[in-house]
Homo-oligomer: A and B are copies of this chain.
């Protein structure tokens, strides 16, 4: 039997998202996390990316056994791929801390899958085959985040997923520093550490630094006070609603993802807001603007979000007025900058006070990820034999390596594998193993607010699905459709192509006949793409690549 432990990332090294890790020992496999990746602007017509489980399927087929999966926390890039991946794998036990398990089960239920994630307490060992795991509490931007101590016949490994060391967190729940130190004292072979903040010197600011700016702004606001943040940032929601209570504002939640996350958190006893202080969004007209705090989903400028619809004047319950204040209490996820700044610019044009991360004199968001000092602090507590950065781009991995060297590690003890490269821990050393191919695997959701359908596909098949380019002329000032759109369909039967070229102008008419013309081209492009995709799926059950080109005239 192979006496070594092999470690590999199925989401690829050199990326922040798509977290999924395989620990193999002998015949057994332990999995950590199962997260989505987010598409950027260059991935035309794609919604999400998945970890590539080809290698996993192969070794399972060859007779290896998945003994279990542990999930570190409830963010999409750590557990959002479960509904897509689990149906492809044999059954095995899955454990997570309480809130993480509740969110993940909720996610599975959305896709009509059984709620198989088992909640498990912090600090208690879970035995799965030859492995054992233990969740240690760390602070992050979502409750119940864990680092995982993994004991194996080849030694102890510390899976240090996303974290910060907030010494004054809003919910007073402190990182289990003593627990981490105790594991370190037992002797750790390798610390797998997140490295997103490795480029930033110093400590990441504590959440408590946000209380004063929020309170000052809310006190001075004479209209609605509107906050957008990640739906799962429960402590931020508690922090801001406490201020609202003090200043006699009622709280409303706008947007499905947000209401869902708050619902799950409430069941877990994590929401401090009293039921009396919350109002349903339909009844906000019964209150003066100055009596309202609204949390709105869509901090990343997503085209379907409540926030984008509110700003574009398309939301049925929430209309903006001049006295309103909007706070972006979240950093842009790389790739979303242009969508977010389009919203901020539109609000500025309307004369609405908008607060966001580039305004440096007040802070309305702090990162959930530790900076250099915290990454060094984790090294100092764990004192592992080897370091290996995970969940970061190549430049962040390189910055982490420099940190390790500053700490005193020898270059050869800081492992920076290539994407798909196995890292093999033997009884007395470590070396790189095979490099398996890690492909990009894409998921598209044909979606409105409801998930109606999803397509799991290889990018290879896109050209088989067809390509449709649509060239639209739009009046630059008014945002209205000008002239007849040009449609180019490729990869369809002639009859179908003709049909498509006929019905697309009608689909566009519908998009453009909405109440209010839009001059945000990104938003418009996405609306067009989505309307066309829906129609094509309805007609042909196909998902071609739709490329809308907007020409301003």
Contact = CB atoms under 8 A, between A and B. Distances in A.
A412 B491 CA distance: 58
Interface string A167-211: 000000000000000000000000000000001111000000000
Contact of A462 (B202, B522, B551): B551
Interface in A2-24: 14
A41 interface: yes
A261 interface: no
A397 B350 CA distance: 12
A467 B485 CA distance: 13
Interface of A: 14, 40-42, 44, 199-202, 334-335, 337-338, 341, 344-349, 351, 353-354, 356, 358-361, 372, 393-395, 397-399, 418, 437, 439-440, 458-460, 462-463, 467, 469, 471, 473, 476-477, 486, 488, 490-491, 521-522, 525, 545, 547, 549, 551-553
A392 B415 CA distance: 45
A437 B476 CA distance: 9
A353 B346 CA distance: 40
A463 B459 contact: no
A549 B462 CA distance: 11
A553 B469 contact: no
B393 A345 contact: yes
A399 B359 contact: yes
Given A394-B348, A399-B359, A437-B477, A488 B460 contact: no
Given A437-B477, A439-B476, A547-B469, A341 B395 contact: yes
Nearest to A437: B477
Stoichiometry (number of copies): 2
Given A42-B338, A335-B338, 12 more contacts: A41-B41, A42-B522, A199-B358, A201-B360, A358-B395, A437-B477, A458-B553, A459-B552, A460-B551, A463-B551, A471-B490, A547-B547
B469 A361 contact: no
B14 A345 contact: yes
Contacts of A335: 338
Contacts of A463: 471, 473, 486, 551
A476 B440 contact: yes
A459 B549 contact: no
Nearest to A483: B463
13 contacts: A14-B349, A42-B338, A201-B361, A202-B360, A334-B341, A344-B395, A348-B393, A349-B418, A356-B395, A358-B395, A439-B476, A467-B549, A547-B549
Contacts of A545: 471, 549
Given A395-B345, A467-B549, A473-B463, A488 B486 contact: no
Contacts of A469: 467, 469, 488, 490, 547
A486 B473 contact: no
B549 A360 contact: no
A471 B460 contact: no
A44 B549 contact: yes
Contacts of A361: 200-201, 372
Contacts of A551: 459-460, 462-463
Contact of A393 (B341, B440, B521, B525): B341
Nearest to A460: B553
Contacts of A473: 460, 463
Given A361-B372, A551-B462, A348 B467 contact: no
Contacts of A44: 549
A361 B399 CA distance: 11
Contacts of A522: 42
A525 B42 CA distance: 10
Given A338-B40, A549-B44, A360 B200 contact: yes
Given A41-B41, A469-B488, A359 B199 contact: yes
**What are the 6 A-B residue pairs with the smallest beta carbon separation, nearest first?**
A201-B361, A348-B394, A348-B398, A348-B395, A345-B394, A460-B553
Among A334, A394, A473, which residue has the most Cβ atoms of chain B within 10 A?
Answer: A394
Contacts of A418: 349
B440 A338 contact: no
A476 B394 CA distance: 17
A197 B200 CA distance: 21
Contacts of A393: 341, 345, 348
A440 B353 CA distance: 28
Contacts of A440: 476, 552
Nearest to A344: B395
